[in-house]
Structure 1
Amino acid sequence: TSNTSLAIELHVFLLASSLAYLAKTMSGAYMNSMLTQIERRFNIPASLVGIINGSFEIGNLLVIAFVSYFGAKLHRPRLIALGCTVMSFACLLISLPHFLMERYQYETALSPLENSSSSMSMCLINQSQFLVLFTECEQKSGSLMWVFVLVGNILRGIGETPIMPLVISYVEDFSKAENSPFYIGCLQVATVIGPFLGFMLGSYCAQLYVDLGFTDIEVTITLTDARWVGAWWLGILICGSVSLLAGIPFCFLPKSLPKEGLANETELLSMRNTSLLQESGARLKMREITKDFIPFLRSLFHNPVYMLFICITVMQFSAFNGMITFMPKYLEQQYGKSASQAIFLIAVYNLPVICIGYFLGGFLMKKFKISTIHAANIAFWISLTEYLIYFAAYFTVCENSPVAGLTVSYEGIEQVSYMEITLLADCNRDCDCSIKVWDPVCGENGITYVSPCLAGCRASDGTRKYTVRHNTSGFSSGNVSAVLGQCDKEANCDMMLQYFLILSIVCSFIYSLGAMPGYMVLIRSLKPEEKSFGVGIHTLASRVFAGIPSPIYFGALIDSTCLKWGTLSCGGEGACRMYDIVTYRYSFFLLLIIIIILLLCLFVYLFVLP
């Protein structure tokens, strides 16, 4: 009976751990999918969004040493429960700005009080609205509310830290040796399901307007509009609820269990005595660890294969982290997709093949008993193949949309301008239009205009959602009409997107296939007594030198290609409304090329080491 009870406790621990794994990976994927929505809601640049994204790694680093050294000596289930609770509180903190800030008001050239059936002049209306905004700017709150998201993401990193190492050590300590790999493999399934659910939830929430159920005006923008903000706060509350539920079972689990399969009371008593002896020797063990810290560190720094592999990991993780952080934005900008569509496509096309690649890579390593040098060769050639295929994505392109004053002149001549003064022309100069507002309209000539006033529109009538603006002298063809929103992308963009997604599937599979051989190079380059410490230093280096800085400099690079910035209520630049997608693509791929060339040089140097 006691054995049955212990088996039940172990299985309850495994089920609870699976839910905890799912909760942490689900919230991570969801936050990554919502970065564009956060950027627009708080009207901040992509570089600041990169800092928010990297803050999760900072939270990990704050407590990873404590968890690594002391976690196994404390009550592990309760420590995991505490981590889940902290994650849940962090999710609540991240969503808090939505309930503290005023309702989202996107830039528009139309008065919120405009009667839907009225006809009104478009000239000077923008200027008058901006004067009102500037006079009221001191009364508005929320300019620094993104700090809640930053702090919440740090706390989320802190809460997640104990889950994986303590769950694995608990399973290893109290399960049969032959059962342990199977149990851990089952847990890894949750780390695949979690991101998929997170991206699906992100795709759904991005379709819902941010002020879901509370807006008192008709929303006139579409999902593909640069001003659209989805219900980013809703999904993170759901993730927090899942985290809270995941922590509850751990509160009722014991600090330790007898080894799975022990048959009688004598064995149980022996197990307990062994556990007490281990605890009494904990202080001595800690002194030994402290004593060996400097010699181990010196030994690792003098291990050329290990140090090179750390550099390789930093380069590889920098490229991967930068790409995955801003991949939804890339699909939005390059192919004219909504955030919801971009998130959905990433989840459906990439996550399943990554899962298959990880399993297949591990199976092949075990099946053919591949040596370290062969594993390094496989990792190199797989990486090289992946990068060459990925660069083929450079040719799956769409050109800049024609926007008067930004990518084309008002006469339709192609010319890219980063200066707002080019938004003014003879056809709109007498309207005294504001060049700050972003409220695009699409003309019958296929050219987008930044606002109806800048298009030369004189009047507006019809419904707010499908407003037709007559007397549009800004068009080269004379008095024609314009409709709300940007013009659609060129016809072949959807086909180019399909090519890009096919390439991304192939690259994701190849990348995941080479992950296990690369990891084996790391493990086998270390002495048995150095493995735990070496893996810890490797994780620390990848977080400090790749996980934190890469989203920041990728974000800053993306910001440098912005053609039209949004405007804060008190003036100043907000979130970017439109990018020069050609320069965006050049810069994005150039940075990746630099990182990858350095990476391949390190790989080559790894082979020539004696």
Structure 2
Amino acid sequence: MSTEKKKEPCCSKLKMFLAAMCFVFFAKAFQGSYMKSSVTQIERRFDVPSSLIGFIDGSFEIGNLFVIAFVSYFGAKLHRPRLIAAGCLVMSAGSFITAMPHFFQGQYKYESTISHFSASVNGTENVLPCLTNASLAQDSEIPTVESQAECEKASSSSLWLFVFLGNMLRGIGETPVMPLGLSYLDDFSREENTAFYLALIQTVGIMGPMFGFMLGSFCAKLYVDIGTVDLDSITINYKDSRWVGAWWLGFLVTGGVMLLAGIPFWFLPKSLTRQGEPESEKKPGAPEGGEQERFIPDNNKHNPPASKPAPVTMSALAKDFLPSLKKLFSNTIYVLLVCTGLIQVSGFIGMITFKPKFMEQVYGQSASRAIFLIGIMNLPAVALGIVTGGFIMKRFKVNVLGAAKICIVASVLAFCSMLIQYFLQCDNSQVAGLTVTYQGAPEVSYQTETLISQCNIGCSCSLKHWDPICASNGVTYTSPCLAGCQTSTGIGKEMVFHNCSCIGEALLPYTNMSAVLGQCPRKSDCDFMFKIYMAVTVIGAFFSAVGATPGYIILLRSITPELKSLALGMHTLIVRTLGGIPPPIYFGALIDKTCLKWGLKQCGGRGACRIYDSGAFRNAFLGLIYALYSSSYLLFGLLYNRLSHREKKQALKDQLKAPEQDSCGVSTTNGNASSAIVKCENPDQETTI
């Protein structure tokens, strides 16, 4: 009988499924990372606080939880490729729905008083912005009661609900991809190929966030109403805190990519022949007894008949669920793993959601540059860390206790890099009346009254608008009126303000009494500090990712095989529910507390924050991350103690069994010497006497 295996075709259906899985993992990571990169733009476009944008961002996890039970229990019994295809279709629809508000809203109108006096005179020089600004600004900031409802309707302020719904649909559609796709691949591939296929899928998937953040950076530089407005008439640029990029454009792109990713799954079969194993080789059943059955090595435990669960009724499933759940949560190691993962994921989700804003407010980077740098520097470091962790596990054949040591060491090193970030600080941007006095002395104020000074008291300026101008003394003033400027020249972005009385009041060196549009850049030493910060974050991202694979191995090896599916499902459920939804909300609420100047909505009321107290922002943002990660290390210590205790107990059991297993002797069956098995030195080698 020939033992030569039939050569597998280069384009088998399994390989087509593998290629489709690689593409869909890339597409969903591409889509998810673009959403993260667009958080700041969406916040500004809909004039919502950080706490609400955190809630919108968490809607993905909410959608995921809606169908996770259905997918976990019934997905494997249905047509898995088509379920994945349907999920891709839903994710694509979610992206398109997210972009819809742009087409329902009118043109973006950023808060500005400059247009009132820049359009008042057609000549090259406009007159008295300090005086003409006053009455017009006051009229524009408080609409009448009768027009309030109409204004709210016209501004479409509640259209952020479409973004919430679209993100939730993405969460619903993403649910079947991983569990059904990976189980399908595992069922029909060779056992030795499965690990390679999974690594290939994850490697391609890691490229998704890189492209997602780069697309986010590109769209953030494009004006939101590109193609419908004259860009020369826009008085702000992409570095301004009022700027809104073309956030909607990226969702159309990611939705289209996801739609393409789902097409191959519609044409794949419900089941396949196991890779390299023709139908004729499948064994219908095991032998009914005898010595052959007794001494057959357990090499076929992964064959399809054994790996496919027997059909069960809903009542039997429900009856077995609670006892299994009780048994699972009586496993102390599993409970500690869930709690540790929950806390660390909470810190990570909060950090990645608001990291671009942190880089923007603390280091003076534009939103587009912050997003771009995360994509090209931090994410490759994460990919390298995951590969390194897997290599260490395989190269040194690390056991569970060794994996726990790797996790702890890697996590502590990553935490040390985060501690270093606290000391890499820049001074607050110098804004008169908010972070410095009009005389130039450092003084942070959350009160709007401090915007009034002797130099602008006669102008009757609006205190609510944010129209920053940069003076020659390096100080930013919140509006030309509050800077006491008397005249202006130029139009659009080229506008210059002259005879600004407040510039002379500051005890700082200046070249003239003029100011230009926009916020002043940070001091030069801040750029150097930012470079060190990026280097530290890249190192921290690498160490954090090194512990990912060992952590997953600990989870898999700490539970009994019959509870493995339930354990993974409950771990995902708890971590996604409590670690994915609340953190962006409470991180955002804490960040909102550090806002120095809120924007003004089109219909009045508080809009998005324009500038934060960078010191308080850093303390709140990093402090919350430190608190979460520090508490996780206490649980890590308990987990290591339990794993060590279990390892010692197992070693003791093995030691007690050692004399019986290691001795060289003869065992007989039913007293028949002809069936005796001699086992010497190599227990796998069996010799029949």
1:117 aligns with: 124
CA contact (8 A) 1:355 1:512 kept: yes
Amino acid at match of 2:87: G
Distance in structure 1 (CA, Å) of the matches to 2:635 and 2:402: 17
Structure 2 CA distance for aligned equivalents of residues 389 and 214 of structure 1 = 45
Q: Look up the match of 1:246.
A: 261
Counterpart residue number, 2:42: 38
Residue of structure 2 in register with 1:447 after alignment? 475
Please list, as runs of the form range in 1=range in 2, the aligned pairs for 1:286-297 lying within 5 A after superposition: 286-297=314-325
1:131 partnered with 2:139:
yes
- Residue 184 of structure 1 corresponds to 198
Aligned twin of 1:601: 634
2:65 is aligned to 61
Size of the alignment, in residue pairs? 605
> 1:348, CA displacement in angstroms?
1.3
Per the alignment, residue 84 of structure 2 pairs with 80
Structure 1 counterpart of 2:30, one-letter code: M
Tell me, which stretches of 5 or more residues in structure 2 are unaligned?
Answer: 1-5, 286-302, 507-511, 646-689
| Per-residue deviation, 1:488 | 1.0
Asked whether the 8 Å contact 1:7–1:260 carries over to 2, the reply is no
TM-score (norm 2): 0.84
Q: 1:6 & 1:455 partners in 2: Cα distance?
A: 72
Letter paired with 2:133: I
Corresponding residue of 2:606: 573
CA distance in 1, matches of 2:155, 2:311: 52
Q: 1:419 to 1:189 in 2, by over 3 A?
A: same
Q: Deviations over 1:89-117 (max 9, x none)?
A: 10010000000001011111222645473
- Kindly provide the amino acid, as one letter, of the partner of residue 139 in structure 2: L
Q: 1:337 Cα shift?
A: 0.9
State yes or no: 1:357 paired with 2:385.
yes
Of the three residues 241, 252, 259, the one matched with 1:226 is 241
Report the equivalent of 1:338: 366
The percent of aligned pairs where both chains have the same amino acid is 49
Corresponding residue for residue 187 of structure 2: 173
Aligned to 1:307: 335
Q: 1:95 aligns with which of 93, 99, 104?
A: 99
Equivalent position to 2:563, from 530, 546, 549: 530
Partner of 2:491: 463
What amino acid is aligned across from residue 223 of structure 1 in structure 2? Y
Would the alpha carbon gap of residues 409 and 120 (structure 1) be closer, same or farther in structure 2, given more than 3 Å must change? same
Q: Partners in 1 of 2:547 and 2:21 — Cα distance?
A: 27
1:319 counterpart residue number? 347
**Are the aligned partners of 2:432 and 2:478 in contact in 1 as well (CA < 8 Å)?**
yes
For 1:163, the aligned partner's letter is V
Letter in 2 for 1:188: Q
Shift of 1:584: 0.7
Instruction: Give a deviation string over 1:288-308, Cα, whole Å, max 9, x none.
Output: 432221112111221111111
Q: Classify the secondary structure of the residue corresponding to 1:17.
A: helix
Cα separation, 2, equivalents of 1:289 and 1:309:
26
Q: Measure the CA separation in 1 of the matches of 2:268 and 2:28.
A: 20
Partner-residue secondary structure (3-state), 2:266? helix
Greater displacement, 515-524 / 223-232: 515-524
Say if 1:427 and 1:262 are closer, same or farther in 2 by CA, change over 3 A.
same
Distance 1:176 1:465, change over 3 A: same
The residue type paired with residue 13 of structure 1 is F
Cα separation, 1, equivalents of 2:634 and 2:518: 47
The one-letter code of the counterpart of 1:484 is L
- 3-state DSSP class of the match of 1:436? coil
The question of whether the paired residues in 1 share the 8 Å contact of 2:31 and 2:212 is answered with: yes
The amino acid across from 1:28 in the alignment is G
Is the alpha carbon distance of 1:433 and 1:253 closer, same or farther for their aligned partners in structure 2, counting shifts above 3 Å?
A: same
Distance 1:405 1:89, change over 3 A: same
1:235 is aligned to 2:250: yes
Report the equivalent of 1:419: 447
**SS state at 2:610 partner:** strand
**Which residue type is aligned with residue 405 of structure 2?**
N
Residues 165-211 of structure 1 deviation map (CA, whole Å, 9 limit, x = unaligned): 11111111122222222222221122111111111111111111111
AA aligned opposite 1:88: S
User: 1:257: how far off?
Assistant: 1.5
How far apart are 1:278 and its partner, in Å? 10
Aligned partner of 1:215 in structure 2 is 229
Aligned partner (choices 542, 551, 570) of residue 509 of structure 1: 542
Q: Distance in 2 between matches of 1:287 and 1:6?
A: 44
Q: Greater CA radius of gyration, 1 or 2? A: 2
Contact 1:116/1:463 (8 A) holds in 2: no
User: What one-letter code is carried by the residue in structure 2 that aligns with 1:55?
Assistant: S
Instruction: Name the CA shift for 1:216/1:7 in 2 (closer, same or farther; >3 Å).
Output: closer
Shift of 1:262: 3.5
Output one character per residue of 1:51-88: Cα deviation in whole Å (capped at 9) or x when no partner. Answer: 01111001111111111111111111111111011011
Q: Secondary structure at the match of 2:91?
A: helix
What secondary structure is seen at the aligned counterpart in 2 of 1:575?
strand
Q: What is the aligned partner in structure 2 of residue 29 from structure 1?
A: 33
- Cα distance in 2 between the residues matched to 1:471 and 1:343: 38
Describe the shift of the 1:182–1:596 C-alpha distance in structure 2 as closer, same or farther (beyond 3 A): closer
Shift of 1:3: 8.7
Question: 1:45-56 alignment to 2 at 5 Å?
Answer: 45-56=49-60
Secondary structure in 2 aligned to 1:492?
helix
Aligned alpha-carbon RMSD (Å): 2.3
Which residue of structure 1 aligns with residue 514 of structure 2?
A: 481
- The 3 A distance-change label for structure 1 pair 347 and 498 is same
CA deviations 1:376-425 (Å, max 9, x no partner) are 22212221222122211111111101101101111111110001111111
Measured in 2, the distance between the counterparts of 1:176 and 1:607 equals 34
Residue 282 of structure 1 is matched in structure 2 by 311
TM-aligned CA distance change 1:435 to 1:559, over 3 Å: same
1:359-374 alignment to 2 at 5 Å?
359-374=387-402
Residue 64 and residue 520 in structure 1: after superposition, are their counterparts in 2 closer, same or farther (change >3 A)? same
Conserved in 1, the CA contact under 8 Å of 2:455 and 2:505? no
Task: Indicate conservation of the 8 Å contact 2:187/2:304, yes or no.
Answer: no
Shift of 1:128: 1.3
Give yes or no for contact 2:504–2:513 (8 Å, CA) kept in 1: no
Q: Is the 8 A contact 1:40 1:575 kept in 2?
A: yes
Note the alpha carbon deviations across 1:561-588, whole angstroms, 9 max, x for none. Answer: 0000001122221100000001111111
- Partners of 2:123 and 2:549 in 1: CA distance: 61
| Structure 1 stretches of at least 4 aligned residues deviating more than 6 Å after TM superposition | 2-6, 268-271, 274-280
- Structure 1: runs of 5 or more not aligned: none
Deviation at 1:339, TM superposition (A): 1.0
Q: Which amino acid aligns with 2:395?
A: K
C-alpha distance in 2 between matches for 1:365 and 1:175: 23
8 Å contact kept, 1:358–1:516:
yes
CA distance in 1, matches of 2:97, 2:127: 44
Letter in 2 for 1:51: F
Contact 1:84 1:246 in 2 (8 A): yes
Instruction: Indicate if the aligned counterparts of 1:441 and 1:449 stay in contact, CA closer than 8 A.
Output: yes
Give me the TM-score of the superposition, normalised by structure 1: 0.95
Is the partner of 2:502 in helix, strand or coil? Answer: coil
SS of residue paired to 1:119: strand
Instruction: Tell whether the 8 Å contact from 2:110 to 2:242 is kept in structure 1 after alignment.
Output: yes
| 1:408 alignment partner in structure 2 | 436
Deviation of 1:275 (Å)? 8.9
Q: Which residue of 2 aligns with 1:547?
A: 580
Deviation at 1:129, TM superposition (A): 4.2
